[in-house]
Amino acid sequence: MFEQLYEPQKKPQVSTAMTLGILAAYLVGAFGGFCLFIILGDRTFGIQIVTAITYTYFAFWYVFFPTRGLLEKYSLRNKTVQQQIPSLLAIHIAFLIMIFLGQTIWFAIKPHLSRYWATDRGAGTPYAWVMIGSSVVFFFTQVLISRRILSRSGDEARSGYLRIMSKKDGIIGVSDHGGWAVLVTVAPDGTLLDRRRVELVGEGLPKLPHHSEGQRLRSRRPWS
Amino acid sequence: MELVERVRVSAERHAVLALDAVTTAVPRILGVALRKCPQLPATIAERITDYRAQNNADWVMYRKALASAAEARGWPVHRYDAKSVFGAARQALRVEDLDAYFLQVRRAVGPPWNQDHKLAMAAAIVTASAAVGSASNIPTLNFATAAEI
């Protein structure tokens, strides 16, 4: 019979400072992307390069930091997260290649498209909207896949640990004193499994022998 | 010095018996959390002549006895700092008020439940949590009722 005291899952909380920090990062990213676009936009593959840089910047923030609807934060200091970095990088590179190729092909076929695609309908041309829309779809697909990987690895680490450490497994915490100690054994889920006071020295022997011997020496040499 | 040696041998024997006793209740132990040991002079003679070392040497002797007994069984020994372990336990448990948490434990398991039990439990919780890293803090807090312990 176990008594549960706390909810097993807590919704992650995002502090105001973190929200403001992330917002600032997005603004910096948007401004930086705009500047890069001005600088590199006219060069060969300039737009693809700017897209790749901006995409990488925002992907980092969206994958690892909380945002609307995706509140979980994944710290890069966490070992479980670090273990997933190679696969996240591989996914990111795959998406970048797809976007780079998609954009290059889209730019190449532009002269062959009908006038419909180049007609401005008030909020840009269909040609531009297809390119932006597909990039956004790619972006959120990658973010959701990456977050899913991180979330699953965290769950696996938890369940794996619990598999290794069943409820019958325990870790002993010790609070020791002169000649005795309290041992408290706890399961990985916080269950208190055992507690006991144990004697650490036999009867008739001093519990603090160094101290006793030290005092005896001092009494023999009262001048010291 | 002979007395110190006799007590040390006795402590080692009792430490083995103490861990034996725990394994009758919890057969699979994955580690032991012991308090950190201060540095001491190398010899017993130096320890008993130095007042400061004399006071610490007894605690260190018991901790070493428990550590040796644990290591002999192949259990990893973790060291904790008694000053910071409660803060670390609070983080591992994701609770703001550790006293309130321990009060609930005490209500569930009954006496004896004092500062030593709190310290030892905090150390065990922190050690369990550290074993899996911050991604997997202890997910739930359960404890057996007094009848079970």
pLDDT in tens, A40-62: 888 888 989 999 999 999 999 88
End-to-end CA distance of chain B: 40
Closest in A78, A165, A175 to B119, CB measured:
A175
Task: Give the mean model confidence (pLDDT) for residues A87-100.
Answer: 93
Q: Is residue A109 part of a domain?
A: yes
Single-letter code of the amino acid located at A105: I
Closest to A37 in 3D by CA, of A49, A26, A25, A27 = A49
- pLDDT of A214 strictly over 60: yes
Q: What was the pLDDT predicted at B40?
A: 77
Segments forming the whole domain that contains residue A153 = 16-164
- pLDDT of B144 strictly over 90: no
Q: Is residue A130 part of a domain?
A: yes
Contact (Cβ atoms closer than 8 angstroms) between residue A176 and residue A198: no
> What is the least distance, in Å, from the CA of A180 to any CA of chain B?
8
Task: State how far the Cα of A132 lies from the Cα of A138, in Å rounded to an integer.
Answer: 10
Q: Is residue A4 part of a domain?
A: no
Q: What percent of chain A has pLDDT over 90?
A: 28
Closest in B58, B94, B105 to A211, CB measured:
B58
Task: Give the mean model confidence (pLDDT) for residues A129-145.
Answer: 90
Single-letter code of the amino acid located at A184: V
Are residues A112 and A51 both part of a single domain?
yes
Q: Is residue A193 part of a domain?
A: yes
Task: Give the mean model confidence (pLDDT) for residues A137-158.
Answer: 82
CB contact under 8 A, B120 and A179: no
pLDDT band for position A119 (cuts 50, 70, 90): confident
Closest to A194 in 3D by CA, of A160, A222, A167, A154 = A167
> What is the least distance, in Å, from the CA of B72 to any CA of chain A?
15
Q: What was the pLDDT predicted at B140?
A: 40
Q: How many domains does chain A have?
A: 2
pLDDT in tens, B65-121: 999 999 999 999 999 999 999 999 998 888 888 898 898 888 888 888 999 999 999
| Contact residues on chain B for A190, CB-CB shorter than 8 A | 93, 125, 138, 140-143
Q: Which residue shows structure tokens 């901006």?
A: A54
Are residues A90 and A129 both part of a single domain?
yes
| Contact residues on chain A for B139, CB-CB shorter than 8 A | 8-9, 158, 189
Q: Is residue A5 part of a domain?
A: no
What chain A residue is nearest to B78 in terms of C-alpha separation?
Answer: A173
- pLDDT of A11 strictly over 60: no
pLDDT in tens, B27-74: 889 999 999 988 877 777 777 777 778 888 888 999 999 999 999 999
Are residues A136 and A177 both part of a single domain?
no
Task: State how far the Cα of A136 lies from the Cα of A146, in Å rounded to an integer.
Answer: 15
Q: Is residue A9 part of a domain?
A: no
pLDDT in tens, A16-47: 887 888 888 889 999 998 999 899 888 888 98
Q: What was the pLDDT predicted at A118?
A: 81
Q: Which residue shows structure tokens 């050690």?
A: B127
Are residues A128 and A215 both part of a single domain?
no
- CB–CB contacts below 8 A, A to B: 252
CA angle, residues B133, B136, B141, in degrees to nearest 5: 120
Coil, helix or strand at residue A6: coil
Closest in A10, A187, A208 to B94, CB measured:
A10
Q: Is residue A39 part of a domain?
A: yes
Single-letter code of the amino acid located at B63: R
pLDDT band for position A213 (cuts 50, 70, 90): confident
Closest in A10, A78, A210 to B133, CB measured:
A78
Q: Is residue A2 part of a domain?
A: no
Task: State how far the Cα of A106 lies from the Cα of A128, in Å rounded to an integer.
Answer: 10
Are residues A107 and A205 both part of a single domain?
no
Are residues A70 and A175 both part of a single domain?
no
pLDDT band for position A196 (cuts 50, 70, 90): very high
Phi then psi for residue A175, to 5 deg, are -115, 110
Contact (Cβ atoms closer than 8 angstroms) between residue A84 and residue A150: yes
- pLDDT of A176 strictly over 60: yes
